[in-house]
Amino acid sequence: MAAPAGRRRTLLAATEPIRALASAGTLAATFPLLALAPRGDRHPVLVLPGLMASDMSTTALRRWLRALGYPVVGWELGRNRGPTPEVVEALPGLVQRLVDRHGTPVSIVGQSLGGIYARRLAARTPAQVRQVVSLGSPFASVVRAAHDSPGARAYRRLAPRHSSRRLSTVDPARPLRVPSTSVYSRWDGVVDWRACLQQTGPRSENVGVHASHLGMGHDPAVLWVVADRLAQPADGWQPFRPPPGLARLFPSEPEEG
């Protein structure tokens, strides 16, 4: 008999750290396979960390993308305590500087809350953003359970620090004008996976993985998705297709329960 939803959420949250460590261990074993990941045109990539995390949390992801040839930067704003006045002021300028330096739009990869920032930045200045890839980002909090997740509770505790201004007044759940990929996991113990689903369309998709929330930045399947998405041509984006023989690593149809 299946465990009640509440017990399942508690179990997933309690096992987040150990499952994240397991992903890190798997990463070393899968380096030969990851060496075959697609490579793109080496455009600039901005990587944004999740709530209460810093650039340290995205080190493996950024090193991986540099190995693929992309000029990659972190946000260099310390620990992510939410949309503070400093964050709201600094992020648009960071995107602008990257565009000016490289002469081309920037892809933004955001983990958790970082993915929400990425979507808001893309809504604010779509001409500056090539595409958005969000990892476990609950931008579509349309279910009641999503508001009681560990991630949502932590965000509310930090709310007094947050700016009254926003990176964009557009709802981050609305379809973007740039290609967007939302990576989600039904085994996420920090946010409700249903809040990570976007409306799919010609240039928007949801890609399921088996990762923990904390482990998404170094989970091999997630790294493959990110590499595959960044390798998409600027004028010829296509939905993600799992590599041959590995489809089971990417559960495609979310189911309630």
The verdict on residue 92 lying in a domain is: yes
**Buried b vs exposed e over 85-109: b needs ≥16 C-beta within 10 Å?**
eebbeebbebbeebbeeeeebbbbb
**Buried b vs exposed e over 46-59: b needs ≥16 C-beta within 10 Å?**
bbbbbbbbbbebbe
The verdict on residue 233 lying in a domain is: no
Distance of CA 78 to the CA centre of its chain: 18
pLDDT for 111 beyond 80: yes
Task: For residues 43 and 75, give the distance between their C-alpha atoms in angstroms, rounded to a whole number.
Answer: 17
Look at residue 147 in the predicted model and tell me its pLDDT: 65
Number of compact structural domains in the chain: 1
> Ramachandran region of residue 97, left (φ > 0), alpha (ψ -120 to 50) or beta?
alpha
The verdict on residue 215 lying in a domain is: yes
Query: pLDDT by residue (tens digit) across 18-53?
Result: 998 888 888 877 877 888 899 999 999 999 999 999
CB 190 within 8 A of CB 16: yes
Contacts of 213 (CB under 8 A, 6+ apart): 16, 20, 112, 136, 151, 185, 188, 189, 190, 191
Confidence of residue 4 (pLDDT cuts 50, 70, 90): confident
The verdict on residue 39 lying in a domain is: yes
Helix (H, G, I), strand (E, B) or coil at 45: strand
Q: What is the mean pLDDT of residues 172-187?
A: 95
Task: For residues 115 and 134, give the distance between their C-alpha atoms in angstroms, rounded to a whole number.
Answer: 4
The verdict on residue 83 lying in a domain is: yes
The verdict on residue 150 lying in a domain is: yes
Can you give the residue range of the structural domain that contains 163? Answer: 5-228
What predicted TM-score, i.e. pTM, was given to this entire model? 0.91
The verdict on residue 251 lying in a domain is: no
Q: State the alpha helices, DSSP H only, in 15-84.
A: 16-29, 31-34, 59-67
Higher pLDDT, 210 or 150: 210
CB 60 within 8 A of CB 218: yes
CATH of the domain at 167: 3.40.50.1820
Give bridge partners of residue 181 from the DSSP assignment. Answer: 133, 205
Local structure of residue 112 (DSSP, 8 states): T
The verdict on residue 179 lying in a domain is: yes
Distance of CA 14 to the CA centre of its chain: 22
Look at residue 143 in the predicted model and tell me its pLDDT: 52
